[in-house]
Homo-oligomer: A and B are copies of this chain.
């Protein structure tokens, strides 16, 4: 399993700005030729902007959705445009009162060395603790952790003693979600691809049971074995056939937090879910969400996550890959399942 790599080495300041653009829309699983890397002059900050030297770039499955020319919660990335991503960077030039060179900021930028950013609800100053690696602020202490927390507190609230299933449980959000479920006193069952990941879930993250989706046992049988009392909460990162099977195991009054549908991201046509009748049979609540819609819930979530991480009760797993040139290859690993926890690039 990936070591936790600190990512807080001082930022260098290259003379040119490397940027990764969308060369063409992927057809199915993305390939390197869908992207194009260019090198431009380092920009300057416009009025109301800050110029940031990026120190960490987030590499998320959600970005796959933005590459398609279809309606999403975020406009599609245009052909030839920068690949958007959440970043952490150091201000090198500021034309915004209250922001000064050397400040650390986090927000919605892109896969590039330097970003021109405008402070907003999604671009703001970060005040990292001295002993916490910066990478943690894009994982358990950042959007990833907040998503897991909002999912299991606001969208599909868990109660102690309940059975919680998390798909893509070894992924960035999933690996935090399983631990939050455990910390809230639930029996947690994680679904992940591969024996190594399953072992990590049980031995390191403390899930009650892990189901290997590469195992020939049908998921239906595995759920019968590992969730004999049914499922109260399903934190869904994958959608598709997994969701369909899980619907048949939900308990009355069960809740489903629909966080992502990676099963469909690369599919020519999405999987057709047949078991929605279970919504009535079991009076289920299935709810999609975006973390930043739930501003009211974020202070409490930040407090919980901060305490859990500080106490060592919650493990934040980050793999930081060096070099902007490796960003695309790192992104493609999301779709081969060869990672656990949060993937980041230090450009």
- Of residues 264 through 302 on chain A, the ones whose CB sits less than 8 Å from some CB of chain B are 264, 269-290, 293
In-complex Cβ contact of A283 among B260, B282, B288 (8 A): B288
Instruction: Assess A261 versus B276: contact at CB under 8 Å? Given A281-B71, A281-B73.
Output: yes
Number of copies of chain A assembled together: 2
Return chain B residues, CB-CB under 8 Å to A285. 285-288
Return chain B residues, CB-CB under 8 Å to A284. 287-288
Check if A72 is an interface residue, CB within 8 A of chain B.
yes
Chain A: interface residue count, which band? 20 to 34
Return chain B residues, CB-CB under 8 Å to A272. 271-274
CB distance from A255 to the nearest CB of B (A): 9
Q: Is B273 a contact of A259 with CB atoms below 8 Å?
A: no
In-complex Cβ contact of A274 among B270, B275, B282, B287 (8 A): B270
- A163→B264 CA distance, assembly (Å): 29
CB distance from A68 to the nearest CB of B (A): 11
In-complex Cβ contact of A273 among B71, B276, B280, B283 (8 A): B276
Check if A239 is an interface residue, CB within 8 A of chain B.
yes
Q: Is B276 a contact of A282 with CB atoms below 8 Å?
A: no
CB distance from A306 to the nearest CB of B (A): 26
Return chain B residues, CB-CB under 8 Å to A210. none
Q: Is B280 a contact of A270 with CB atoms below 8 Å?
A: no
Return chain B residues, CB-CB under 8 Å to A290. 280, 283
Return chain B residues, CB-CB under 8 Å to A269. 274
Q: Is B293 a contact of A280 with CB atoms below 8 Å?
A: no
In-complex Cβ contact of A280 among B261, B278, B281 (8 A): B261
* A289, closest chain B residue (CB): B283
In-complex Cβ contact of A287 among B72, B239, B278, B279 (8 A): B279
Return chain B residues, CB-CB under 8 Å to A286. 279, 285-287
- A269→B273 CA distance, assembly (Å): 11
Q: Is A288 a contact of B293 with CB atoms below 8 Å?
A: no
Return chain B residues, CB-CB under 8 Å to A118. none
* A73, closest chain B residue (CB): B281
Interface centre among A239, A264, A274, A275 (most CB of B within 10 A): A274
- A280→B264 CA distance, assembly (Å): 13
CB distance from A286 to the nearest CB of B (A): 5
CB distance from A300 to the nearest CB of B (A): 20
Check if A243 is an interface residue, CB within 8 A of chain B.
yes
CB distance from A321 to the nearest CB of B (A): 27
* A275, closest chain B residue (CB): B270
Check if A258 is an interface residue, CB within 8 A of chain B.
yes
Return chain B residues, CB-CB under 8 Å to A280. 73, 258-261, 288-290
In-complex Cβ contact of A276 among B239, B278, B289 (8 A): B239
- A71→B280 CA distance, assembly (Å): 11
In-complex Cβ contact of A288 among B73, B259, B281 (8 A): B281
A-B contact pairs, 17 of them (CB 8 A): A72-B281, A73-B280, A73-B282, A239-B277, A258-B279, A261-B280, A270-B275, A270-B276, A273-B274, A278-B288, A279-B286, A279-B287, A280-B289, A280-B290, A283-B288, A283-B289, A285-B287
What 4 pairs across the A-B complex have the smallest Cβ distances? A272-B272, A279-B288, A280-B288, A270-B274
